[in-house]
Amino acid sequence: MQFYTIKLKDGSQRELPAGSTAADLAAAISSRLAKEAVLAKVNGVVQDLSTSLPDGAQVEILTIDSPDALDAMRHTASHVMAQAVCRLFPGTKLAIGPSVKDGFYYDFAMTESLKPEDLPRIEEEMRKIVAEKLPLEREVLPREQAIEFFRKRGENFKVELIEDLPEDAPISSYRQGEFIDLCAGPHLPHTGYLKALRLLSLAGAYWRGDERRPMLQRVYGTVFFKQSELEEHLRLIEEAKKRDHRKLGRELELFSIEDEGPGFPFYLPNGMVVRNELEQFWREQHRRAGYQEIRTPIILNRELWERSGHWDHYQENMYFTKIDENDYAIKPMNCPGAMLVYRNKLRSYKDLPLRLAELGLVHRHEKSGVLHGMMRVRAFTQDDSHVFMTLDQIESELANRIDLVDHFYQTFGFSYHVELSTRPENSMGSDEAWEMAENALQKVLEEKQVPYSINPGDGAFYGPKIDFHLTDCLGRSWQCATIQLDFQMPEKFELYYIGEDGGRHTPVTVHSVAFGAIERFLAILIEHYAGAFPLWLAPVQVKVLPITDRAHAYAQEVYKELFDAGIRVELDDRSEKIGLKIREAQLAKIPYMLVIGDREAEAKVVAVRQREHGDQGTRALPELIAELQKMIAERQMD
């Protein structure tokens, strides 16, 4: 009999008969592990326990509480949900049902429309399937046999998926009871492991994301190892609903999205205050870092976009127009305009590094189904910077940019993690240039001791990049800042500088954003702060609230002194009860309320109420103004 050597996580080895499965390995280790095993990681890839182990494989047996098992558990839950839907709604046709971050979903084609009240019914049927402990059994079929099998069942979406697979790809499906689904796996051994599950919501989704294809019904759900983890997740969902920037944007009168311009946001006066403060902060920090601000046109001709590569690599995301019978495009990115600014005069090595920055309005064609408040729009302002430099300036400029981004996020109270995104499939340029660019980014991150992970194939088509993913107060991750190193575009635009040797040399460019997009960053801030902006960002920083008509004259004086001191202030002199005025100011998320009655007017003081901490006692107005000005100037986080 032939034996294979299997390497275990602890460095030990096991000899097993050829053809042994991961389940056999678990049993060989211990009877307890055989009972608790649910999956195996084979050479770094999570697999079913029924997977045959190759000779020399590195294997780790996974139990139900292993972090690597969570994704497979959610994938299994999507199959259980699909089985439940098919039981309750005969004639349902299956599309796709993957696991996703924090849960799973499945897309269905159905003759009747699902309603929110159907979710408890589906969930109850899922619990019956869980109680049945149905084994999930993998089957592999020849390509034509698999096509015929699913075609006979009327599963045309599955047939299309199989036909799109490579000719030599194995066609696998999973069976649990009467339910069979096309799937690559892996899955848990049986349905009984799904204890802490919940269906969450309904949505519509086009088949394969194409608005020309059928509209399907999508059901979202989640599942966790423990009930306590599920309950905490549901709590965070409810908190996220309260913080939804679309809801708060409407209530706080920050922005609106109108039917006449889907995806094109309207800034309201309060929203413009916040935006202007963000832009002022951006300008101050970039000026201190040695950047010069520019502005480039929104519409430029086709030849420019062909030269930049956008015409070939990004056309489906662009808007077009004709001027004098010639093709023009509305810019989806600011980069090509910055190249023309560099090119408008002869440059010397003494001019480098040349740091240019732009708050540029760009337009991108987004499908209507993905538009989402200010998070995903069709018109937005990118805070682009472009640094043109020599080869020996690359590392210092990258390091400076990382420091600038770090300062931005610290100012707003965000933590973050970093990813190095490498060469994508649709890239342009030589292997040598890409290797040089990726090595430079990696070296700077390591020298600055910035922890990072590799995100393979997610770089821009013209260069690799460092992506900053900030974490908000609910633990959600948002990709905002990016730093891209580009050897391609300066060459395409025939940019050069006169070197110390008197010859022509091509500069290297670093493209970067700190906010990413003003609109999206604003949406993140709204949700992070729950609309309660820190003092320096708040649209109204102080509300003056007189209690009696007799206090109105002094309240007017207080208002004027605050206004003259540059503080954004409003006076509520309505003949309403003070409790109502305070409650409305609290709902408007105003940081400071100054309550003025007869005693305050007589003593020439103000009673201070702070948004988070309530009554703060009485203060002399000049002292309070000085304190507020200091907090605003230092952009304190309250």
pLDDT tens-digit profile of 197-231? 999 999 988 898 887 889 999 999 999 999 999 99
Structure tokens at 452: 């990072």
Identify whether residues 78 and 21 lie together within a single domain: no
Q: Judge whether residue 428 has pLDDT over 80.
A: no
73 and 53 both lie in a single domain? no
pLDDT at 544 over 80: yes
**Residue 45 sits in the same domain as residue 120:** no
- pLDDT for position 315: 87
Determine what percent of the chain is predicted with pLDDT higher than 70.
Answer: 100
Q: How do residues 337-390 score in pLDDT, each as one tens digit? A: 999 999 999 999 999 999 999 999 999 999 887 889 999 999 999 999 999 999
Alpha-carbon gap, residue 13 to 145, rounded angstroms = 40
Q: What is the pLDDT of residue 291?
A: 97
Q: Is 360 part of any domain?
A: yes
Q: Looking at the domain assignment, is residue 551 inside a domain?
A: yes
Q: Over pLDDT 90: what percentage of the chain?
A: 76
Give the residue, 263 or 3, on which the prediction is more confident: 263
Residues 172 and 285 in one domain: no
Helix (H, G, I), strand (E, B) or coil at 406: helix
pLDDT of res. 17: 87
262 domain-assigned:
no
From 61, 79, 106, the end of a domain falls on 61
Each residue's pLDDT tens digit, 264-295: 999 999 999 999 999 999 999 999 999 999 99
Q: Span 169-186, mean pLDDT?
A: 92
94 to 82, 102, 200, 548: CA distances (angstroms): 8, 22, 19, 67
Rounded CA Rg of the chain: 30
The answer to whether position 440 is within a domain reads yes
pLDDT grade for 461, boundaries at 50, 70 and 90: confident
What is the average pLDDT score of the chain? 93
Answer left, alpha or beta for residue 64, where phi above 0 means left and psi between -120 and 50 means alpha. alpha
The C-alpha angle 307, 309, 313, rounded to 5 degrees, equals: 155
If you average pLDDT over residues 450-478, what whole number do you get? Answer: 88
| 56 and 74, same domain (yes or no) | no
**Do 553 and 615 fall within a single domain?**
yes
Domain range for residue 610? 542-633
Whether residues 506 and 566 fall in one domain: no
- 398 within some domain: yes
Task: Choose the weakest-confidence range: 176-190, 355-369, 427-441, 598-612.
Answer: 427-441
Q: Which residue has the higher pLDDT, 536 or 56?
A: 536
Domain identity same for 53 and 73: no
Round to whole Å and give the CA distance between 57 and 44. Answer: 10
**In this predicted model, which residue has the larger pLDDT, 233 or 368?**
233
CATH number reported for the structural domain that contains residue 583 in this entry: 3.40.50.800
The whole-number pLDDT of residue 399 equals 94
Strand order in the sheet with 465-471: 292-293, 354-363, 379-389, 508-513, 477-486, 465-471, 415-421, 452-455
Which residues are catalytic, by number?
A: 335, 364, 382, 384, 386, 465, 511
Bigger pLDDT: 59 vs 385: 385
Residue 36 lies inside a defined structural domain of this protein:
yes
pLDDT (average), residues 179-204? 93
- Residue 420 in any domain: the answer is yes
Indicate whether 9 pLDDT > 90: no
CA-based nearest residue to 94, from 219, 222, 189: 219
Q: Are residues 503 and 382 in the same domain?
A: yes
Last residue of a domain, one of 35, 61, 87: 61
Question: What pLDDT does 462 receive?
Answer: 74
Instruction: Kindly state whether residues 48 and 160 are assigned to the same domain.
Output: no
When divided into structural domains, the chain yields a total of: 4
Res 139: pLDDT? 92
> Which residues are bridge partners to 32 per DSSP?
none
Which pLDDT does position 476 carry in this prediction? Answer: 87
Q: Do both 277 and 409 map to the same domain?
A: yes
Q: Which of 529, 561, 579 is the last residue of a domain?
A: 529
State the CATH number of the domain containing residue 190: 3.30.980.10
Q: What tens digit of pLDDT does each residue of 100-153 get? A: 988 999 999 998 899 999 999 999 999 999 999 999 999 998 888 999 999 999
Nearest to 183 by CA among 200, 165, 201: 165
DSSP line for 457-484: T-SBTTB-EEEEEEE-TTS-EEEEEEEE
CATH code: domain of residue 16: 3.10.20.30
Do residues 553 and 596 share a domain?
A: yes
